[in-house]
Structure 1
Amino acid sequence: MLVLFLILAPLLQVLLINRSPWGGPDLVVLAVVWLALSRGPVWGCVAGLAAGLAADVTPPADGTVGRTALVLAVTGLLAGHWREGAALPEGRTRERNPLLAGAAGAAAGTLLQAGAAVALGDEPWRAALAALPWTLAWTVALGALVSPVLLRRRHSVEAEPRVAMRRV
């Protein structure tokens, strides 16, 4: 389901969200963060690279090709590491709060994209800052609300033991 959303996110972003007068979340960042939180840092990095390249070439492509791919790969990697939790002394790990992990991943992705656009000269800093507050608010809110649901569903599936073959 998340992989399908990752494939459709750049298209939905261009067709629906970017044309709405009230703004909206960055669906590509959210798709990468949610996949990284549910699957881990490697999946998040690969998903960020693939979704970023798709977003870079989806019309109207107006920036440096690869900028979004790099930013989303880093975002997916960071979100996946945030998911894994902090290491405790006796070799145990402590899960991080999924609400905070989703919000932090969404915020990091949105801020890194704005920073990369300004740093590479694709947008002037005033134009990047003008749209940033609304996009950041939408993306962080949606990332924080949906991430706990995704992680709770993932943990319930992992908790059930799978038996390939039963001995009689």
Structure 2
Amino acid sequence: MSKLDKYLAKAKEPVQRRTGSVVIDGDEWQVRELTMSETRACIRLAEDNNGNFDTFRYNDIRIVKATEHEFPWNNKELLLAYNAKDKFELPVRLFENDRDGYSALLDKVNEVNVKVKSEQEVVEELKNSFEPMENQATSVGRFSTAEGDQPTS
């Protein structure tokens, strides 16, 4: 199979995304992993005309992108009811009086979209978490004890 055939076949395959859910005010919110394209769009949309990055808007955009498969953020009535000029202004307005709900939803978006650690990162983390051994090697041919360096012959 050529590279072209391989990627043509991949284009037709369904993509599995990580998902999660969180209950806010009695409603279950389904959150899905963002694609690379969606993540890039979030970054672009969070910048103003001068290139300044707005972290709050970025978080709101990520919430919308991660939940729009099951919540109608672009509903005209909803936008009018909350005086929002676009769907990305809605999360902060929708949860204006429910900071815990907003935080829970954002935490779930972050959790679902967190980078999966590589095997090497896990190994390094485990190495760093162990307590120093009592008789650690200090140099070739010597080891350290409470009394000082001793030859290892």
Normalising by the residue count of structure 1, what TM-score does the alignment of the two structures yield?
0.28
Structure exhibiting the larger radius of gyration computed from Cα positions: 2
Report which of the two has the higher share of helix.
1
Report which of the two has the higher share of strand.
2
Task: Between the two structures, name the one with larger relative contact order (CA 8 Å, sep ≥ 6).
Answer: 1
Normalising by the residue count of structure 2, what TM-score does the alignment of the two structures yield?
0.30
